[in-house]
Amino acid sequence: MEFKKPTSLLDVPTHYCPGCGHGIVQRLVGEVIDELGIREKTIGTAPVGCAVLLYDYFDCDIIECSHGRSPAVATGIKRVLPDRVVFTYQGDGDLAAIGTAETIHVANRGENITIIFVNNAIYGMTGGQMAPTTITGQRTTTTQEGRGQNQEGPPLKVCELLASLDGVTYLERVAVSTPKDIMRAKKAVKKAFQNQIDEKGFSLVEVLSMCPTDWKVSSTAAVDFVNNEMKEVFPLGVFKDEK
């Protein structure tokens, strides 16, 4: 088997830090777009956050959105062009803090789009502040004694939250911290795109991912943090799968 770069990704180095999970997640999305043969009918949205430069890495139409508003932008695109494939790629601050309203309502409307939600429990681009998904006790630049000491509340669990909405078709939480997890993540991403092609409605895949730079740990310790800490708080699995 030959290991090749997906056609849907540009052959360029990325700006992501060593040990960051974004490169893996974007590769999975690129592979799925290739395998489904949809590159020429796909429109992606870039978030505000570390993945803002998504358009420098994907070889398909991309629109860069304001912070948290990708689901609304994607709604506008999809309603105008219902036969195209529209996906958003969002981080935890984008999707679960500033964009919470857009996230809940796009899901509840059952918009026939695909959301790839990368949860690394931190604000990466701005230098490591608390994210809505920062876990209790986790130290960040704005929770220096650990989350939970200053009435920050517990981490927001997006899949659990959205699972209560009747408009949602498919929700799965995966990780990219082990080879087995990555293979499972690929299957989930593919299903989330296939659902859209089959006009099944709203699909979201939450991906637990590493941020060694802002967690201030080594790349291997970051993998351990996902496996040992994050998976405890954010259990992997299918939260909703409407046939």
Name the site residues for another protein (rule: CB under 8 A).
39-43, 46, 52, 55, 58-66, 69, 71-81, 84-85, 101-102, 104-105
Between 125 and 233, name the residue whose CB sits nearer to another protein.
125
Quote the least distance from Cβ 126 to another protein, whole Å.
14
Q: Which is nearer to another protein, 17 or 238 (CB)?
A: 17
Of residues 46 and 185, the one with the C-beta less far from another protein: 46
- Kindly state the smallest distance separating residue 46's Cβ from another protein, in Å: 7
- Joined tokens for residue 152: 């920050």
For residue 107, with 0-12 CB atoms within 10 Å meaning exposed, 13-18 middle and 19 or more buried, which class applies?
Answer: buried
Cα 47 from Cα 120, distance rounded (Å): 15
Cβ proximity of 82 and 112 under 8 Å: yes
Q: Which is nearer to another protein, 76 or 237 (CB)?
A: 76
In angstroms, give the least distance from the CB of 206 to another protein: 21
DSSP assignment of 100-154: HHHHHHHHHTT-S-EEEEEE-SSBTTTTSBPPTTPPTT--BTTBTT-TTSSS--S
In whole angstroms, how close is the CB of 229 to another protein at the nearest point?
33
